[in-house]
Structure 1
Amino acid sequence: MKILIADSGFTKTDWRVIDENGDIAQAKTEGINPYYQSEEEILREIQNLHNQVPEKIDSIYYYGTGCSSAHNRDKISNLLKRYYPHAKIDVNHDLLAAARSLCGDQPGIACIIGTGTNSCNYDGHTIVENIPSLGWAVADEGGGTYLGKTMLTDYYREDMPQHLREIFKAEFELTKDGFLNKMYQEPMPGRFLASFAKFIGKHISDPYMYQLVANGFHIFLSKNVLKYKNCQTVPIHFTGSVAYFFGDILRTVAQEKGLHIKHITQQPIAGLTLFHQ
């Protein structure tokens, strides 16, 4: 019996195959989000997966961003069926992936801070409470899209320190018109915004960049984690590239708010693999 597990975010999808001997293989594709991508675009990624994992699969456990609605879960399930017609397919939201990966069978608060952000209160079996994420266009505080959007706004309005503006201009040569075209004419603007997290990380020792990230985390914790009544009594865990690479800042900000962070992982796929194994 072969099991296929997927953890799909806005930017990338991590896949793991577990065979009957417990051996694990892996694959990678671009991120999948049914809110922003057509069936044809999603099918291209599933075809890419099938090129890497052509064998017969018995069960698929797919966890993905944008899969909180039944309509989107059905959409992903039906598209996977085209390439894996014999598989039993279970599609869930990426927040459940974070909870299962980080908390296992123990209560806790599980958070995602990657390209986007989300959080939940998990009782060890199911998600019992969720502060709505609302997506990159209006929320996702602290995530890659939020940090990129904030930094670019400061750049074009000349609120970014001059020495950093000069470095940014030389590296990206991104005119205002070019930026607006990327945001309003080209596909996946959220992914474009999040790509600037690498530039922020490269210059994180600069006080401006440090404070930019710290402010994002302050807002995320205030608008999400602190609203869970048990946030002072259960472990708080994080997964996602932004949480992972800026983990020291995240722990400092959390400590200032009286919160204890336990685990911070770069991605949930390793914990998910253990959970399903």
Structure 2
Amino acid sequence: MILIADSGSSKTDWRVIHQDGKISQHRGVGFNPYYQTSEEMAIQMRHDFLVNIESEISEIYYYGAGCSSPERKFEVEQALRTIFSKAEITVDHDLAAAAHATCGHQAGIACILGTGSNSCDYDGKNIIDSRPAPGYILGDEGGGGYVGRKFLRDFINDDLPSEIKDELIDKFHLTANTIQEHVYRKPFPNRYMASFCRFITERKSNPYCYNLFYDSFQDFFDTHVCRYQNHLEKPVNFVGSIAYYNSDILRKAAIDRGLNVNIIIESPIAGLTLYHQEKL
């Protein structure tokens, strides 16, 4: 059997391709070797879903955030080997997952707008160019952590519209001290900041919320898409919850820059499943 994983900082989609072609699936917590050690990831991976199929898995294809260097890929592989000691394991970057799922065998620009953000230029076979992805403190333009950080900063500085701020306090009992506690003292501050994007999306008819996404997407285009050669002639594809649930704003922001947006999907896992099914 083949095990496929598409992992971001917030969640991991797992798919198992059985010998008879049947597919089973599971969603679990996310992993990122930039923020977690092999030991920490291994502990979180040891839940029933994976442990119960340990002896049946012959191949693993793991696509993950933070897996851009050999060192980070090795850390993820070591975590997987604590369960799957005999399987053949391939660890690749989440950009490869985005490119395979959205571009297929065609050239295009593949982008990730989830908790974090990233992008690459793909020639139909290989990633030929990519932009730096320094993480949620120094980058992640357009991603959930980036949008959430701007939103929470405006809350602290009293720059939110009064009706939005009142709803936020009523729903989350939010205070500046609570925000700072989560951002500076608790683990996974990027997930915490990104968690407010659902609240913002649900209120995107409000000009403030709309423009928060719109401006963040323009920042992403400036830092990523518009740096690629011939970017106006290439289809631009997106994966990730921020892109998917705010696709109307994303497409408008792209049109205003002359960009040709093609596919916007929430997760690449279905495309990856089809891609690896060919191996059976």
TM-score range, shorter chain: over 0.9
Deviation at 1:54, TM superposition (A): 4.1
Provide, for residues 107-157 of structure 1, a one-character-per-residue CA deviation record: whole Å limited to 9, x for no partner: 110000000000000011111000112111111111100110000111110
- The residue number in structure 2 matching 1:183 is 183
**1:30/1:273 Cα in 2 relative to 1: closer, same or farther (>3 Å)?**
same
Residue 6 of structure 1 aligns to a residue whose secondary structure is: strand
Q: Does 1:75 align with 2:75?
A: yes
- The residue number in structure 1 matching 2:14 is 15
- The residue number in structure 1 matching 2:130 is 130
**1:52/1:191 Cα in 2 relative to 1: closer, same or farther (>3 Å)?**
farther
- Please say if residues 37 and 75 of structure 2, whose CA atoms lie closer than 8 Å, have aligned partners that are also in contact: no
Residue 83 of structure 1 aligns to a residue whose secondary structure is: coil
Deviation at 1:45, TM superposition (A): 2.3
Figure out how many residues of one structure are paired with residues of the other and give that number. 276
- Please say if residues 29 and 45 of structure 1, whose CA atoms lie closer than 8 Å, have aligned partners that are also in contact: no
Q: Does 1:235 align with 2:225?
A: no
Provide, for residues 31-83 of structure 1, a one-character-per-residue CA deviation record: whole Å limited to 9, x for no partner: 00111113332112221242464442010000000110111111111221121
Query: Partners in 1 of 2:53 and 2:13 — Cα distance?
Result: 12
Deviation at 1:22, TM superposition (A): 1.5
Q: Does 1:217 align with 2:220?
A: no
Deviation at 1:273, TM superposition (A): 0.7
Residue 112 of structure 2 aligns to a residue whose secondary structure is: strand
Amino acid at match of 1:266: E
Amino acid at match of 2:30: G
The correspondence of residues 1-277 of structure 1 with structure 2, limited to 5 A, is 2-48=1-47, 49-51=49-51, 53-277=53-277
Provide, for residues 187-242 of structure 1, a one-character-per-residue CA deviation record: whole Å limited to 9, x for no partner: 11001001000110111110100000000001101211011112122211000000
- Please say if residues 114 and 144 of structure 2, whose CA atoms lie closer than 8 Å, have aligned partners that are also in contact: yes
Query: Which deviates the most, 160-169 or 208-217?
Result: 160-169
Amino acid at match of 1:136: Y
Q: Normalized against structure 2, the TM-score is what?
A: 0.96
- Please say if residues 56 and 84 of structure 1, whose CA atoms lie closer than 8 Å, have aligned partners that are also in contact: no
- Please say if residues 6 and 15 of structure 1, whose CA atoms lie closer than 8 Å, have aligned partners that are also in contact: yes
Query: Partners in 2 of 1:174 and 1:166 — Cα distance?
Result: 10
Query: Partners in 2 of 1:273 and 1:55 — Cα distance?
Result: 21
Task: Give the share of equivalent positions with the same residue, in percent.
Answer: 44
Query: Partners in 2 of 1:136 and 1:52 — Cα distance?
Result: 35
Gaps (5+ residues) in structure 2? none
Query: Which deviates the most, 171-180 or 58-67?
Result: 171-180
Query: Which deviates the most, 248-257 or 222-231?
Result: 222-231
Q: Normalized against structure 1, the TM-score is what?
A: 0.97
- Please say if residues 239 and 266 of structure 1, whose CA atoms lie closer than 8 Å, have aligned partners that are also in contact: yes
- Please say if residues 141 and 219 of structure 1, whose CA atoms lie closer than 8 Å, have aligned partners that are also in contact: yes
Query: Partners in 1 of 2:18 and 2:142 — Cα distance?
Result: 37
- Please say if residues 232 and 259 of structure 2, whose CA atoms lie closer than 8 Å, have aligned partners that are also in contact: yes
Query: Partners in 2 of 1:70 and 1:87 — Cα distance?
Result: 19
- Which consecutive segments of 4 or more residues in structure 1 shift more than 4 A? none
What's the Cα RMSD here? Answer: 1.1
Deviation at 1:181, TM superposition (A): 1.1
Query: Partners in 1 of 2:37 and 2:174 — Cα distance?
Result: 28
Residue 171 of structure 2 aligns to a residue whose secondary structure is: helix
Residue 7 of structure 1 aligns to a residue whose secondary structure is: strand
Gaps (5+ residues) in structure 1? none
